[in-house]
Chains A and B, each alone.
Chain A
Amino acid sequence: QKEVEQDPGPLSVPEGAIVSLNCTYSNSAFQYFMWYRQYSRKGPELLMYTYSSGNKEDGRFTAQVDKSSKYISLFIRDSQPSDSATYLCAMSGNSGGSNYKLTFGKGTLLTVNP
């Protein structure tokens, strides 16, 4: 079983839709949970992070972490064509290694159609 599983999609939605992106993980030592956005031919950029379980909201974006289920989600409300990108989940804090070593999901390609 891979440490982090993420459905690669692709996911195509109409403008204004609510988008739900998810990852599951197996390493219970992960403590930091991040979402990165990567536009075509660019490096990933941090969108949001959450420490341990709980929710975090930033504008149209909400990140949720359920450590008991080893499941994290990113919700995008009122999706826009400019949200079209690959979204990668990432985690860190695994025991026996460094907190700075991030483990990434494979990424989900999202297209928001006008």
Chain B
Amino acid sequence: DVKVTQSSRYLVKRTGEKVFLECVQDMDHENMFWYRQDPGLGLRLIYFSYDVKMKEKGDIPEGYSVSREKKERFSLILESASTNQTSMYLCATVPLETEAFFGQGTRLTVV
């Protein structure tokens, strides 16, 4: 079974802090994605990566950056956390066009 592990289930950070959300997959997949999920808005794509050191902006990249130094690890960075970034963050790998494997999610609260 594919395993996608996100470093934290719950996180509370202060406004203005730099926040790192880590995601690790164990299947050597090339494609990795970061989404945020909000009530009434569904899943929205923040950034994705097709290979090491490669990244592309999704639909809502503002206020975020990413890092992919190793194939198995894809990090989401909130440069200066704000309260409107309070959300559920989901990492996924997509080895085929027909399936995404998601992590368990990180519920981030910015106070």
Chain A positions within 8 Å of B, measured between CB atoms, are 6, 8, 31-32, 34, 36, 41-46, 49, 51, 88, 90, 92-93, 98-102, 104-107
Contacts and interface: CB of A to CB of B under 8 A. Distances in A.
B94 A100 contact: yes
A93 B97 contact: yes
Interface string B9-42: 0000000000000000000000101010000111
Contact of B105 (A31, A42, A99): A42
B42 A99 contact: no
Interface of B: 4, 31, 33, 35, 40-43, 45, 48, 50, 58, 90, 92, 94, 96-100, 102-105, 107
Contacts, number: 62
- Main SS of chain B's interface residues? strand
B97 A92 contact: yes
- Leading 8 A-B pairs by shortest Cβ distance: A43-B102, A106-B42, A49-B98, A99-B97, A104-B43, A100-B94, A100-B31, A32-B97
A109 to B, nearest CB: 10
A102 B42 contact: no
Contact of A105 (B31, B42, B99): B42
Contact of A100 (B40, B97, B103): B97
Nearest to A51: B98
A36 B35 CA distance: 15
